[in-house]
Structure 1
Amino acid sequence: MSWECLPMPELVPPLPAGYRARPATADDISTIHRLVSACERELYGRVQTDLGGITAVLARPGLVPELDTLLIHDRTGHLAARAWVDRRSEVDVHPRHRGRGLGAMLLDWAEARARRAGSEQIVQTVPDDDAGAVALLCSRGYGPMVTEWLLEFAMPDEPAVPEPSAGITVRPFCPGDEHNAHQLIEDAFDEWQQRRMPYQEWARHTVERPTFAPAMSALAFDGGQLVGAVVALDLPETGEGYIEQVAVRRDHRNQGIARLLLCHAFRAFHRQGRRTCTLGTHSDTGALTLYLRVGMKVRRSSTVYRKSLHACGRSPAPIRSDDS
């Protein structure tokens, strides 16, 4: 990537000697993924993020890469840190480049960019085990808003699948199911999410990702009407299955449909050689108890932190942790 071909992002503060900054482009996806993977290995001992997740972030509606992303490279050209901001924000610093102020600098840049874009608040999600990042956010006036959990389901043996209730049938995801699944999921998520995700944005996070696993994604029907969906990803770098979304139509809840769909997905992953399946949820959904009853256990937790950017100090409107 030629540095001369890209404009310098606005509001970039002075960098430590030997570092330089530029915005991200689509050509940087693999490099960003390697950076995020290094951070995850350092913190968790394993990689969770896939290339499709990085791609979906750079394609967020409203995100302008030239203005809303920042990459910092060292003198050898290796990516040392990155940040993006668009309603939410993420900052990652490679373990080899920590302790040099890059994280604080990127946080300053993200806040300044958010203010310039007219945002009244900024949101960051930080693993609870990352004491340094938690301390940095708290020192900058961020406060906790929502708790997120990554749960896991161990499958040494093939999981049993319960019998469906009367009239309910289950099958794997098939071509042509995309729009109906999107409608069902967005309707179900209306209870807690800040905004509905348009189809194309949703698809980039789910059915258009290279890791989308239709054979492990289960749909429930009642007389031909779609009433429940599990959207699954097969993450090759983790060797695990991942449940991206679970949704049941409101008038069909409390019938065991979510548990039924999860068990179908677990069994499908087990038959593909996966012995663990993971799922993320947060405190706004109220679904943690359901997943624990299915037999999942909390692997780790994160906190969504929020900071008001309003000049007059008025409280900003609520923002949900899945306001993607």
Structure 2
Amino acid sequence: MPLLVPPLPTGYRSRPATSGDIQAIHALVADCERDAYGRVRSDAGAAAADLARPGLVPETDTLLVHDPAGRLAARAWVDRRSEVDVHPRHRGRGLGAALLGWTLERARQAGTARVVQTVPDADTGAVALLRAHGYEPLVTAWLLEFAMSAEPSVPEPPAGVTVRPFRSGDGPAVHLLVQDAFDEWQERRQAYAEWAAHTVERPAFTPLRSALAFEGDRPVGAALALHLPGTDEGHLEQVAVRRDRRGRGIARLLLRHTFRAFHRAGVRSCTLWTHSDTGALGLYRRVGMTVRHSSTVFRKDLGT
């Protein structure tokens, strides 16, 4: 299958991404995040996990754009989901439109029925570009923050529930718990390798600050924590409770355990993402979290 190459401004050139580009991709994304959020929100582990997505073929499904001096100016990938990032110094030159068009053509070439992409609501230029290409809002996502000037209190667990940190060997059981809990809203179940690359095998994963809830030896809830390099705050990558054990305060218990663990390590803020399909925004607000930023997940049906 021939590699699609979008038209680019004079002097810019493109090629597929490789594993050797992970650090450069992370540096690009970090600069985009600083511009959008005022701070870095990801790490090199996230870039590596994106390249390792099942079904994504880097040779045909990724593209890097370098400027005339050889510096990475933009990147894109597509595999049902898509991402396009243009360095702030290179915006306004048509790179975003070129790469967005490339993601759509590549998705059509691959026979994909629809693609989705997330953009910060504050990035009005990106929102306008997606709408101009026929994308429609799918869900709203919020980055929530819990500020900790004092050590957070931890409630007593419900009867029969115990809490402990994540241990080596917990991965498969927690993976099954998370997939079952997220079945009601996620598009597809993730295989263990894909899920682990974004969570428990990610270099930023912090098992001692990740809390698991058990009834006997059966896990009923999990809060999986990251401490991203170069940041001064903790992050919860996933929070999940078995559907038949909700409404008992388990999620609040796990959150408070994780917040306290971060506070005792000298961290004074903790964040997590949630979106409107989960119905969890009210829970997080009752725990004391506040909305820092919002984004929108946009969808475009390709009619294939």
Confirm or deny a common fold (TM above 0.5).
yes
Offset of residue 14 of structure 1: 2.2
1:260 aligns with 2:253: yes
Alpha-carbon distance in 1 for matches of 2:109, 2:133: 18
Kindly indicate whether the alpha-carbon contact (under 8 Å) linking 2:4 and 2:60 is maintained by their aligned counterparts in 1: no
Instruction: Write the deviation string for residues 23-48 of structure 1: whole angstroms up to 9, x where unpaired.
Output: 00000000000000111111111100
Q: Alignment length, in residue pairs?
A: 304
- Specify the code of the residue in structure 2 equivalent to 1:79: L
TM, length-normalised to structure 2: 0.98
RMSD (Å) for aligned C-alpha atoms: 1.1
Q: Distance in 2 between matches of 1:251 and 1:108?
A: 44
Aligned residue for 2:39? 46
Tell me which of 116, 120, 127 is aligned to 1:123: 116
Kindly report structure 1 stretches of 4+ aligned residues shifted beyond 4 Å: none
- Hey, what does 2:26 align to over in structure 1? 33
Does 2:178 match 1:185? yes
Q: 2:289 pairs with 296, 315, 321, which one?
A: 296
Contact (CA 8 Å) 1:229, 1:247: kept in 2 or not? yes
Following superposition, the deviation at residue 136 of structure 1 comes to: 0.7
Deviation string for 1:104-145 (max 9, x for gaps)? 000110000000000121111010000100011111111111
Which SS does the other structure have where 2:300 is aligned? strand
Q: Aligned partners of 2:137 and 2:81: how far apart in 1?
A: 14
SS in 1 for 2:138: strand
> TM-score scaled to structure 1, two decimals?
0.92
Answer whether contact 1:149 1:298 (CA < 8 A) is retained. Answer: yes
Q: Which deviations, in whole Å up to 9, do the C-alpha atoms of 1:50-76 show, x marking residues without a partner?
A: 111100000000000000000000111
Equivalent AA in structure 2 for residue 112 of structure 1: E
Report the secondary structure of 1:92's partner residue. Answer: strand
Matched, 1:157 2:150: yes
Give yes or no for the alignment of 1:310 onto 2:296: no
In structure 2, the partner of 1:211 is 204
The percentage of aligned residue pairs carrying the same residue is: 69
User: How far apart are 1:276 and its partner, in Å?
Assistant: 0.3
Aligned to 1:248: 241
Q: Supply the distance in 2 between the matched residues of 1:33 and 1:211 (Cα, whole angstroms).
A: 14
Aligned to 1:264, the other structure's residue is in SS state helix
Inter-partner Cα distance in structure 2 for 1:133 and 1:22? 23
Whether 2:68 is the aligned partner of 1:75: answer yes
Alignment partners' CA distance in 2, 1:231 and 1:118: 35
CA contact (8 A) 1:147 1:301 kept: yes
Q: Deviations over 1:221-248 (max 9, x none)?
A: 1122211111111112221100011111
Q: Deviation of residue 11 (structure 1)?
A: 2.1
Residues 48 and 237 of structure 1 are in contact (CA less than 8 Å); yes or no, is this contact kept in structure 2?
no
Tell me the secondary structure at the aligned position of residue 27 of structure 1: helix
2:155 is the alignment partner of 1:166: no
Structure 2: state its 5+ residue gaps. Answer: none
